[in-house]
């Protein structure tokens, strides 16, 4: 290899290392924000636990352990997926709250680097929070997971992250365009996903005109896959097509979400929206 080629490779490696460090810095900053608002995080965690317990107890009144597990899987999966969605979708709201929005968006950092750091944190935070709630549910309900396919459930869980990240990126631009109404729009979209995806009931329970929306929502298939793994013990091999479909949805939604976000960022810069605090 010629010296010039070595120089080019070294330059690329140095650039990638620099972008990785910058991305990690955003992850570390968000972790520090959680530590700063630890009291609020504890409140949110306790609320998530109590809400999950309450939902599980509905199944308990039916006298059916399968119903309990069905509802708990829905509650835990929704806690995880909505956490990922919220952390990405509300990243701009956090920037406004901390009064760092203008500094972040005018800094010489590639936007993809910034968003990768945000998504890293969303996944780490979502996993940690869901694991704590799961352990609490295991103790509270004395769950029996004999025969459950835990690795298969984890596979579906991992594949589910990608479409939620893409959806979060699409919604994240809304607080950037409207400080007053953007966050509310994110909550509306999350509520619609909760309604149509069958978190606590099969989508067949929806009105006929809503069921097609449920069938195209990635969350529907995330829930279906995890329930098959945990309730029916479906093998990992049989779950691979479902995991592949979720990954494909992520491959489509993440670039689409990034494109929407960068367009929104350009619009916000041109129209001077970065400084607005709402």
pLDDT in tens, 185-207: 888 888 999 999 989 999 999 99
Q: 205: which DSSP letter?
A: G
pLDDT given at position 245: 94
Q: Are 239 and 228 in contact (CB under 8 A)?
A: yes
Residue 6 lies in a domain: no
pLDDT given at position 90: 78
Residue 208 lies in a domain: yes
Arithmetic mean of pLDDT over the chain: 84
pLDDT at 103 over 90: no
Q: What token pair was written down for 39?
A: 């009291």
Q: Are 117 and 32 in contact (CB under 8 A)?
A: no
| 99-113, 141-155, 214-228, 257-271: segment of lowest average pLDDT | 99-113
pLDDT given at position 64: 77
Residue 156 lies in a domain: yes
Q: Are 133 and 49 in contact (CB under 8 A)?
A: yes
pLDDT given at position 6: 57
Q: 21 or 49: whose pLDDT is higher? A: 49
Band of residue 249 on the pLDDT scale cut at 50, 70, 90? very high
Residue 118 lies in a domain: yes
Q: Rg of the Cα trace of the chain?
A: 21
Q: Are 246 and 161 in contact (CB under 8 A)?
A: no
Structural domain harbouring 201: 13-270
pLDDT at 219 over 90: yes
Residue 124 lies in a domain: yes
Residue 2 lies in a domain: no
Buried b (16+ CB within 10 A) or exposed e, 164-180: bbbbbbbbbbbbbbbbe
- Count the domains in the chain: 1
pLDDT given at position 180: 67
Task: Please tell me the pTM assigned to this model.
Answer: 0.83
pLDDT given at position 270: 79
Residue 277 lies in a domain: no
Q: 203: which DSSP letter?
A: G
pLDDT given at position 8: 62
């Amino acid at each position: 290899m010629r010296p010039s080629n070595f120089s080019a490779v070294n330059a690329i490696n140095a650039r990638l290392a620099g972008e990785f460090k910058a991305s990690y810095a955003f992850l570390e900053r968000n972790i520090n924000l959680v530590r700063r608002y630890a009291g609020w995080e504890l409140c949110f965690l306790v609320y998530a636990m109590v809400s999950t317990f309450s939902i599980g107890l509905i199944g308990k009144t039916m006298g059916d352990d399968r119903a309990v597990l069905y509802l708990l899987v829905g509650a835990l999966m929704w806690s995880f997926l909505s956490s990922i969605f919220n952390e990405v979708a509300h990243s701009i709201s956090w920037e406004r709250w901390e009064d760092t929005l203008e500094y972040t968006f005018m800094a010489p950092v590639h936007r993809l680097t910034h968003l990768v750091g945000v998504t890293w944190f969303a996944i780490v935070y979502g996993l940690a929070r869901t694991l704590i709630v799961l352990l609490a549910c295991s103790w509270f309900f004395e769950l029996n997971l004999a025969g459950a396919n835990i690795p298969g459930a984890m596979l579906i869980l991992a594949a589910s992250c990608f479409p939620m990240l893409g959806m979060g990126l699409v919604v994240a631009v809304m607080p950037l365009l409207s400080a007053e109404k953007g966050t509310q729009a994110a909550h509306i979209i999350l509520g619609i996903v909760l309604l149509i995806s069958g978190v606590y009931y099969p989508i067949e329970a929806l009105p006929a005109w809503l069921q097609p929306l449920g069938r195209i929502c990635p969350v529907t298939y995330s829930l279906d896959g995890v329930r098959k793994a945990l309730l029916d013990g479906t093998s990992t091999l049989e779950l691979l097509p479902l995991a592949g479909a979720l990954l494909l949805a992520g491959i489509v939604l993440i670039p689409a979400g990034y494109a929407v976000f960068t367009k929104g960022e350009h619009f916000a810069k041109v129209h001077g929206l970065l400084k607005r605090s709402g």
